């Protein structure tokens, strides 16, 4: 078996995420590693502890509804009456409409909000060139950021669990503050050098000096919002960012790169979850019926033996790469993880 140390859980029904001081729990990683499953299990366990919890999916390809086996709305809605659990799947189109004040375009691609046409000017719709250099972050990330800040500030919830979009989307969101600062600096330089063309530039921001001022104010507002989000994410007393991976070399290396990028942003990673491990579930959570997990038949199944070897190598590499982190293993279950029972088992593995 793997050398990773795992603390067994004695009572699955009582198991869950142990109470801690983290107000925000975020799961990140490449697509397909099980971020949604981990977020759903964590949110359910937290709610069972009596903590009002909101589970947020920012991934455009939502699967939170399938995992909870109930419709998760595009605005925070209560999912259970017996425990304080809420959920929301951010709808990209709806988020874009609500985020029109950010200047990334309103209906039919028309610019709106205090930033006027700045979204298009910076290389938004129609792939317009960015005269200030560097690409404008995707409007979907910006819209998700705005809503995420709203949810983090919502006093109804004592804990917010976030199922993030795949790695690339998450990193673009985290890069927004630097891009905003760079854009504002370049914009000011451009306006100074092109003062004689201010009439044309003003027109691009709405047609008058007041609109021009609103554009600058709008950009500053966006920057402040993103800085607030970054302040939350970089506070280890409030936020627990957990990387999810699977026991395969490429996935482990992707997790390593994500950790390095998060460290660049000052975001601490305390936990690494290795999902879909081919091992007896009883090694992690005792008193579980054998039929609920997949255990490799190393004697009669050559395929199982080969996959076992691949996973053991990846697990050993993960242990070395993430030394000093809390490494959790979640075994590969026989059935797709959906509904209360399976999620409580996963929650026990994460506790």
Sign of the torsion angle spanned by Cα atoms 42, 48, 54, 57: positive
Predicted model pTM: 0.74
HEC string of 46-91? HHHCCCCEEEEECCCCCCHHHHHCCCCCCCCEECCCCCCEEEEECC
Cβ-Cβ contacts under 8 Å for 42 (sequence gap 6 or more): 17, 25, 27, 55, 161, 347, 350
Domains of the chain plus CATH, in order, are 24-350 (3.40.50.300)
Q: Report the pLDDT value the prediction gives residue 50, as an integer from 0 to 100.
A: 94
Nearest to 148 by CA among 69, 230, 73: 230
Short-list 336, 294, 344, CA closest to 66: 336
Contacts of 54 (CB under 8 A, 6+ apart): 43, 76, 86, 87, 88, 151, 154, 156, 157, 159, 160, 161
Q: What is the pLDDT of residue 147?
A: 77
Q: Which residues pair with 13 in a beta bridge?
A: none
DSSP, collapsed to helix, strand or coil, labels residue 324 as coil
First to last CA, the chain: 21
Burial annotation 175-213 (CB, 10 A radius, 16+ → b, else e): bbbebbeebbebbeeeeeeeeeeeeebbebbbeeeebbe
Backbone φ and ψ of 57, nearest 5°: -105, 120
CA gap 290, 343 in Å, rounded = 17
- Which among 271, 256, 266, 236 is positioned nearest to 317, based on CA atoms? 256
pLDDT tens over the chain, length 351 residues: 444 444 444 444 444 334 355 889 999 888 889 999 999 999 999 999 999 999 999 877 778 999 999 999 989 999 999 999 999 998 777 766 765 544 444 444 443 433 333 343 333 444 334 444 443 445 556 666 677 778 888 889 999 999 987 766 666 666 666 665 665 566 656 656 655 555 555 555 555 554 454 455 666 666 677 778 778 888 888 888 999 999 999 999 999 999 998 888 888 888 999 999 987 777 777 666 655 566 777 788 888 888 888 999 999 999 888 988 888 999 888 788 999 988 998 998 898
d(CA 160, CA 81): 18
């Amino acid at each position: 078996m793997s050398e990773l140390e795992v603390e067994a859980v004695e009572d699955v029904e009582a198991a869950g995420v142990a109470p801690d001081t983290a107000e925000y729990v975020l799961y990140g990683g490449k697509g397909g590693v099980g971020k949604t499953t981990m977020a759903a299990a964590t949110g359910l366990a937290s709610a069972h502890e009596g903590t009002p919890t909101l589970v947020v999916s920012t991934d455009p390809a939502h699967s939170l509804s399938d995992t909870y086996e109930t419709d998760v709305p595009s605005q925070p809605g209560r999912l259970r009456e017996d425990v304080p659990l809420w959920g929301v799947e951010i709808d990209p189109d709806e988020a874009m409409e609500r985020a029109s004040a950010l200047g990334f375009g309103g209906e039919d691609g028309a610019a709106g909000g205090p930033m006027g046409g700045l979204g298009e000017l910076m290389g938004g719709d129609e792939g317009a060139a960015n005269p200030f250099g560097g690409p404008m972050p995707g409007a979907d990330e910006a819209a998700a950021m705005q809503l995420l800040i709203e949810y983090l500030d919502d006093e109804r919830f004592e804990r917010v669990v976030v199922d993030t979009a795949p790695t690339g989307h998450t990193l673009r969101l985290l890069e927004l503050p630097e891009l905003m600062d760079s854009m504002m600096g370049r914009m000011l330089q451009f306006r100074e050098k092109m003062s004689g063309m201010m009439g044309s530039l003003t027109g691009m921001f709405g047609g008058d000096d007041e609109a021009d001022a609103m554009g600058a104010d709008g950009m500053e507002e966006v920057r402040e919002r993103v800085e607030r989000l970054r302040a939350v994410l970089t506070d280890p007393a409030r936020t627990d960012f957990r990387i999810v991976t699977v026991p395969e070399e490429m996935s482990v290396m992707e997790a390593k790169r994500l950790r390095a990028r998060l460290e660049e942003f000052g975001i601490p990673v305390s936990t690494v979850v290795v999902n879909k491990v081919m091992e007896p579930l009883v090694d992690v959570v005792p008193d579980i019926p054998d039929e609920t997990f997949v255990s490799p038949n190393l004697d009669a199944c050559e395929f199982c033996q080969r996959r076992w070897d691949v996973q053991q190598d990846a697990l050993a590499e993960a242990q070395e790469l993430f030394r000093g982190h809390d490494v959790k293993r979640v075994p590969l279950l026989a059935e797709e993880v959906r509904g209360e029972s399976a999620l409580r088992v996963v929650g026990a593995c994460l506790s």
